[in-house]
């Protein structure tokens, strides 16, 4: 079998048959490039690949790649061999692969005050209006960067205060807009949005009139984070985390948060309950005095009892 041709047909299948996002397709393409190169280096035919060989391939990458990358590559191999099993009848040696455990880290996010400080920095120049609108939509709608860049003009319904978004797998969801976001989007749309050519179908266009790309958004958010002394790990996706955290803080039902974010599994959404709990602990630590022992505590006991009697 022509391995490289099989990879090409597989990538076409996940794009057209499964509706995978371009970023996912690009990632899997790179994963499979590494796998094909390893097969050639080891002079092994695809039909002869077994679980031991695949595990050896993953283990060989452990010194050069992080656990998250190897975990993603494991998922790619499972998907690829599942495809080969279904359409070509090849055995699937990937089902029992052991991926490294991914460290569970709380997402980086910003609170409302920090976002307000970012928004105050933008002027009324064309670029200032565009950049401010990007930040507001990411924060007020919880969009992924790919969803922001591919947001269509006819899916923006400012008179109804909502936008229609197509997420992973082409899954559709409606996002309500707050008044401030509607006002900013109207300002952008009516004053500086000047698309050229085919870019007219997209709501967001670059200063040159082209479709907005991920690199522009990434550089913008990173610059804002540096100006406000936010975490070096702060990224466009952190604004999505900030949106979700804000909803949880306001006691929004978790199922509704899942729907607004476009998560297929509610377990993905539940990470934001941990963020809220973590923040609560920090708040309590700040608000309450440290436990005291010995004479200091005894000396203050009478005063504390008097204070309790005076509480309203």
Catalytic residue (choose from 72, 132, 240, 241)? 240
Whether residue 272 lies in the annotated active site: yes
Q: Which residues pair with 152 in a beta bridge?
A: 202
Q: Quick check: is 240 catalytic?
A: yes
Active-site annotation holds for 144: yes
Closest CA to 196 of 213, 211, 209: 209
- For residues 189 and 136, what is the distance between their CA atoms, to the nearest angstrom? 14
Task: Let me know: does 1 contact 47? Beta carbons within 8 Å.
Answer: yes
Closest by alpha carbon to 269, among 252, 286, 285? 252
Could you please report the per-residue DSSP string of 57-73? HHHHTTTTS-HHHHHHH
Q: Which of 29, 168, 173, 222 is catalytic?
A: 168
Where does 43-158 have alpha helices with state H?
51-60, 67-88, 112-120, 126-141, 145-149
Other residues' Cβ atoms within 10 Å of the Cβ of residue 172: 10
Catalytic residue (one of 20, 72, 132, 144): 144
User: How many Å apart are CA 276 and CA 95, to the nearest integer?
Assistant: 36
Q: How far apart are the C-alpha atoms of 42 and 22, rounded to whole Å?
A: 30
- Report residue 217: phi and psi, to 5°: -65, -40
| 181 within 8 A of 115, measured Cβ to Cβ | no
Q: In terms of C-beta density within 10 A (0-12 exposed, 13-18 middle, 19 or more buried), how is residue 43 classed?
A: exposed
CA nearest to 153, candidates 181, 102, 190 = 190
> Which member of 132, 193, 241, 263 is catalytic?
263
Which residue among 20, 132, 237, 246 is the active-site one?
237
Residues designated catalytic: 144, 168, 237, 240, 263, 272
């Amino acid at each position: 079998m022509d391995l490289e041709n099989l990879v090409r047909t597989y990538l076409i299948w996940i794009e057209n048959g499964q509706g995978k996002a371009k970023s996912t397709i690009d990632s899997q393409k790179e994963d499979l490039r590494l796998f094909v190169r390893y097969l050639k280096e080891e002079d092994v035919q695809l039909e002869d690949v077994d679980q031991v060989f695949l595990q050896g391939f993953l283990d060989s990458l452990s010194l050069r790649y992080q656990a998250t990358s190897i975990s993603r590559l494991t998922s790619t191999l499972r998907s690829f061999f599942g495809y080969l099993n279904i359409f070509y009848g090849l055995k699937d040696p990937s089902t029992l692969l052991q991926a490294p455990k991914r460290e569970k880290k709380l997402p980086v996010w910003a609170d409302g005050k920090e976002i307000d400080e970012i928004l105050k920095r933008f002027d009324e120049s064309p670029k200032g209006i565009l950049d401010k609108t990007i930040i507001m939509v990411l924060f007020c709608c919880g969009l992924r960067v790919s969803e922001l860049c591919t947001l269509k003009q006819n899916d923006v319904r400012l008179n109804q205060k909502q936008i229609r978004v197509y997420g992973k797998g082409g899954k559709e969801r409606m996002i309500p807009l707050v008044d401030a976001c509607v006002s900013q989007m109207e300002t952008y749309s009516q004053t500086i949005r000047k698309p050229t050519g085919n870019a007219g179908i997209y709501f967001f266009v670059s200063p040159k009139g082209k479709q907005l790309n991920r690199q522009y958004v990434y550089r913008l958010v990173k610059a804002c984070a540096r100006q406000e002394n936010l975490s070096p790990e702060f990224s466009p996706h952190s604004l999505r985390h900030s949106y979700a955290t804000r909803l949880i803080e306001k006691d929004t039902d978790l199922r509704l948060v899942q729907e607004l974010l476009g998560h297929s599994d509610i377990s993905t959404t539940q990470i934001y309950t941990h963020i809220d709990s973590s923040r609560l602990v920090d708040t309590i630590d700040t608000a309450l005095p440290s436990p005291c022992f010995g004479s200091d505590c005894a000396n203050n006991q009478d005063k504390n009892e008097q204070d309790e009697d005076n509480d309203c």
